[in-house]
Amino acid sequence: MKSKLAKEVPDDVQGLADDDFVSKLPNPLLSEILSRLSADEVVRTSILSSRWKDSWRYVSRLDLDPKRMMNLDKQVITQQNLLLEYYNGVDNNNSSMNRRQIKKAISLASLMINKVLFSQKCNLKSCKISHFSDTTKSAQLEKWIEFLESEKGIQELALACDEFIFSEQNPSGRYLDNCKLSLKSGIFNCSTLHALELTHYKLENESPFHNCPNLRTLKLKWLSLNTETLDGILDSCPFLEHLSLSCCIGLDQVRIKNEIVKTVVLASLNLVAIYLSSKSLGVLVLHSLKCSPKNLIINAPKLRVFQAYFDPNLLRPQPTQFLRPAGDQPPLKVTSILEHCSGLLRHDENDKFSSFFEELWTLSLDLDLNNIRELLILSIILRLCNNLQKLEINTKQVQSEGTSDNGAAQTGWLPYPESTLWEVRELCDCITHTLKVVTIKGFEGREREVEFVRHLIKNACAMKRIDICCNDSCSRKGGEATLGLLSLPRSSIDVLIELKPGPGFRSAEVGASFQDWVLTLR
């Protein structure tokens, strides 16, 4: 006889529950599923059934975070505020007692990490450990690293000190001393370890990286380190293929001369100079940097993907003690990068110059398509890109230099009507022969934007797809002008033109067409 609860469950679902097909999965597949969970979630699965009791000991990936292992009592919930008070030198009558309770909870969480880590029965492909500064001071972090390398054959390791982020905005920088990464020399020299990510530390020297030919991927985020330390790290990792530097302070230069490196990402850095030289560099990303354009030197003859973005909100001022004599650098705008890296602003014709645009397959830019100066720069860059296949533009609706109050660039200096810009200028080989995919985001259907897309539709013979993603601030006139692009004669018979309404409308009106959206505009 079925129970009352069973009667309320459909027969097909009841049968599925009885069979418990998940528990009958092969061990490798079950382990792969569990590896996608955080460590605390993985351990909790042991109560589901006898089959699951020890499954968490055989996962290939671990994500260990002490915050998720703490009891969510009142004292622990307020840990961030108390630590802020502590590291900013603020004190009150109750903080000492509460801090002792929090330290006790942190210590317990570290013990739980120990238990999970040392209970693993198989090798680990990757492991991410978030920890508090006490773990570094007590050498516990070093023990974890050595265990992962010697006993678990770790391949990918990510380490992050959580307390660092609590005081990111602290101009005094006092918190940095609590996040020093003091590890023994050459600790990252492990034959199996090929990818390393460090977040929220102070690195005073390159000692932990001594003799690391094994490392292929290195990501450094929110680190305090100087140029000499970075140079030492790069020298100690001669076979590094992928390098990412984000939001690091204390650097005045990035100097990469490596014939093996394939990918370089530089984001939110304040630098005096950038020097990149690599015959194998295939992907370069420059995101929201401060640097003088004349000190940006890139020698990458085989570059295939170039991305340049600029978001002033990501350009944080550096604490004064980390500024070099040169002081704060000017923002490195995308147009400045294009001008200097294409040779447009060379002052000495005898200077040796090598443009990296010739072999590009993908070009992704923040660019104001409503600014005539930026359009001219784009037209010149496209003439240099003989092999370009994919073009992505995030058109910035900002008032640039040389614009009037209504955002329309002054064009009196042009020798021809601006509406004929793309018709007058020489056709680009990449547009007529190689360009296949174009994506434009932030489109508003304004005249200069529409003229550019019209030029592509009429001349891009190899084009396969054009995606136009409109802005929520688009006007009815702009929406109708964008819609009119669909009726233009096309040079490529295979091209698919996809018009997408503003993101606000797409999320609110699922399934609505572009025409429906245009009707809602003013």
What pLDDT digit, counting tens, does each position of 33-90 carry?
Answer: 666 665 566 655 554 555 565 666 777 888 888 777 665 443 344 455 545 554 454 4
Q: What are phi and psi of 504, to 5 degrees?
A: -65, -40
**Alpha carbons 43 and 41: distance in angstroms, whole number:** 5
CA distance 153 to 176: 31
Residues of the chain with pLDDT under 50: 1-18, 47, 72-78, 82, 86-87, 89-90, 93, 164-175, 320-323, 325-326, 398-409
CA distances from 80 to 77, 163, 183 (A): 8, 8, 26
Domain-by-domain residue ranges, the chain?
Answer: 357-399+418-522
Q: With the C-alpha atoms ordered 359, 363, 365, 371, is the resulting torsion angle positive or negative?
A: positive
For 98-126, what is each residue's pLDDT tens digit? 556 666 766 777 788 888 888 878 888 99
Angle at 16 between CA 12 and CA 21, to 5 degrees: 155
Q: Which CATH architecture has domain 357-399+418-522?
A: Alpha-Beta Horseshoe (3.80)
β-strand pairing of 242-246 with 253-257: unpaired
CA atoms within a 13 Å half-sphere pointing along the CA-CB vector of 488? 23
In the block, residue with structure tokens 């999320």: 507
The answer to whether the beta carbons of residues 217 and 198 sit under 8 Å apart is no
Q: CA 23, CA 51: separation in Å to the nearest integer?
A: 7
- The Cα 278–Cα 283 span in angstroms is 11
For 177-215, b/e burial (b = at least 16 CB within 10 A) is ebbbbbbeeebbbbebbbbbbbbbbbbebbbbbbebebb
Residue 320 pLDDT: 46
Q: What is the dihedral of CA 263, 268, 269, 273, to 10 degrees?
A: 60
